[in-house]
Amino acid sequence: MSEIPIVLRGAAEVFARRDEQDISVAQFCADIEAVAAALPQARHIINLCQDRYRFTVTFFAALVRRQTNLLPAKRDIAAARNLAGQYEACSIVTDEDTPGVDHRVDFVPGTHGQATSPACLADQVAGIAFTSGSTGAPVPHPKTWQMLCDWRAVHQRYLPGPPTATRAVISTVPSWHMYGLEWAMLLPTVAPLTLYCGPDFFPRDVVAALSGFNSATVLVSTPVHLRALSRVPAPTRPVETVISATAPLDTILTRHIETHLTSRVFEIYGCSEAGSLAWRSTGTNKHWQFFDCFDVRLTDGEISVGHPLLRDKVKLADRFTEISPGAYVLEGRSSDIIKVAGKRESLTNLNAILTNIVGVEDGVIFLPEAPGPLRTTRLAAFAVAPELSTHDIKAALAEHIDPVFLPRPIRLLSALPRDKTSKIRQDTLTQLMREFDG
């Protein structure tokens, strides 16, 4: 059975920087071996490590032990325990002193000597990503080690900038999200990138990290974080490459980021089912190009993507037009699917939950126009509910839907402006919201 090494880089190259300490590839591999030896007996692992370096080491350590990493979006201990109950021999591990976990990953990085890269079975399921299904139960999307290795080779080819130059990668995206896992965890196992493993959430920390490397930097981020970064003082050094995903960037924000960070912005399009699929150089070209490893079929605006390693073709939630061979324009989401903070949800589902609340006679949840290019858009709702307050409605919704999809604001009306077919046009909702905001 074929095996593929975890790291395909020189032993002395720098893999990560953490606490101002550089950790070589050989030290990283020794850390993986040491953590693997200490992991509990299990078939599945839920890795709740907070520290980016410890998460990375533990992910690969599980592979060495032929265990599968479960990558749930909900990372609290109750949700993890619930998921663990659905998978055979599943252990929850973390690097913090959290009650209710099965094992604590506790080590000082870079202190286990040096080792050559371990190799893992190609057809082993390395990780399982989850999307929220229409019934609310998470839908699993397994990834074999072979898939992750094929993907990382493709991403290395498409990574903008000089392929052999040593660069640092700073990510505001957690590694347990497929986009972060691909671009800020797997990519440094093949490309000459030093993975920054320090605080990376608050703009101040990201700016400090970007300013702290002598080499060129690559920032792996999202529109939400880029908006925040564009509103605080810039790093002291140019950011060579910005990669963004999870939602499309608009032209104004892209230009602002490119000027503010002295950078070039590239966008990745993907989905949990298949991972990263397409890219564009946002500042110069609004057309998306699918990675050449995928078989892309366009029928009536709907794209399905095939690959020998994907069991089924993946139908995309967005509509595209092919304007010249291989160049696609994203026309927008299939009208039912909305996306907030990287998570997709069906408006039909959300509206059903709203109108099923006792006391809500009619209601609609929708995505309003953005409050401005530098602000994050949330869902909004109109409801007809004479006996309820907006607080009551929000509390009832919160019992059923992910917090990122909770509408704010919720406005109460005496009737909804439905047309003859009982639909409500988006522009009517937008106009009504403007009137409310006065």
Residues in the chain, total: 438
Helix (H) or strand (E) holding 384: strand 380-384
| Position among 70, 228, 357, 401 found at the interface with another protein (CB under 8 A) | 228
- Which is nearest to 266 in space by CA: 217, 220, 325, 227? 220
Q: Judged by CB under 8 A, does residue 293 bind another protein? A: no
Q: Which listed range, 84-92, 126-134, 197-205, 331-339, lies at the site for another protein (CB under 8 A)?
A: 197-205
Per CB under 8 A, 332 contacts another protein: no
Instruction: Give yes or no for residue 347 binding another protein (CB under 8 A).
Output: no
Beta carbon of residue 279, minimum distance to another protein (angstroms, whole number): 25
Shortest CB 100 distance to another protein, Å? 17
Q: Which of 211, 398, 423, 434 binds another protein (CB under 8 A)?
A: 398
Candidates 114, 122, 158, 203; binder of another protein (CB under 8 A) is 203
Radius of gyration of the chain (CA): 23
- Interaction between residue 232 and another protein (CB under 8 A): yes
**CB of 411: closest distance to another protein in angstroms?**
9
- Considering the rule CB under 8 A, would residue 51 count as an interface residue with another protein? no
CB of 333 to another protein, least distance (A): 19
Assess 390 for contact with another protein (CB under 8 A). yes
Alpha carbon 24 to chain centroid, angstroms: 27
Report the nearest approach of another protein to the CB of residue 52 (Å): 12
- 224 near another protein, rule: CB under 8 A: yes
What angle, rounded to 10 degrees, do the helices at 390-398 and 347-355 form? 120
Sign (positive or negative) of CA dihedral 227, 205, 189, 54: negative
First to last CA, the chain: 67
Other Cβ atoms within 10 Å of 420 Cβ, number: 5
Sign of CA dihedral 186, 189, 193, 199: positive
Task: Quote the Cα angle for 360-362-367, to 5°.
Answer: 105
Q: Identify which of residues 56 and 221 has a Cβ nearer to another protein in the complex.
A: 221
Q: Which is nearer to another protein, 315 or 378 (CB)?
A: 378
Residues 14-43 binding another protein (CB under 8 A) are none
Question: How far apart are alpha carbons 225 and 228 in whole angstroms?
Answer: 5
**137 binding another protein? (CB under 8 A):** no
Question: Is residue 409 involved in binding another protein (CB under 8 A)?
Answer: yes
Question: 303-309, long-range: CB within 8 Å, 24+ apart, which pairs?
Answer: 303/328, 305/274, 305/277, 307/274, 309/144, 309/146, 309/147, 309/150
Q: State how far the Cα of 212 lies from the Cα of 168, in Å rounded to an integer.
A: 10
- Cα(423)–Cα(137) distance, integer angstroms: 29
Q: Which stretch binds another protein (CB under 8 A): 40-48, 102-110, 400-408, 414-422?
A: 400-408
Other beta carbons less than 10 A from residue 10's beta carbon? 11
Counting contacts by CB under 8 A, is residue 389 touching another protein?
yes
* 305 is a contact residue toward another protein (CB under 8 A): no
Positions touching another protein (CB under 8 A) are 199, 201-205, 208, 224-225, 228, 231-232, 341, 371, 375-376, 378, 389-391, 394, 398, 403-404, 406, 408-410
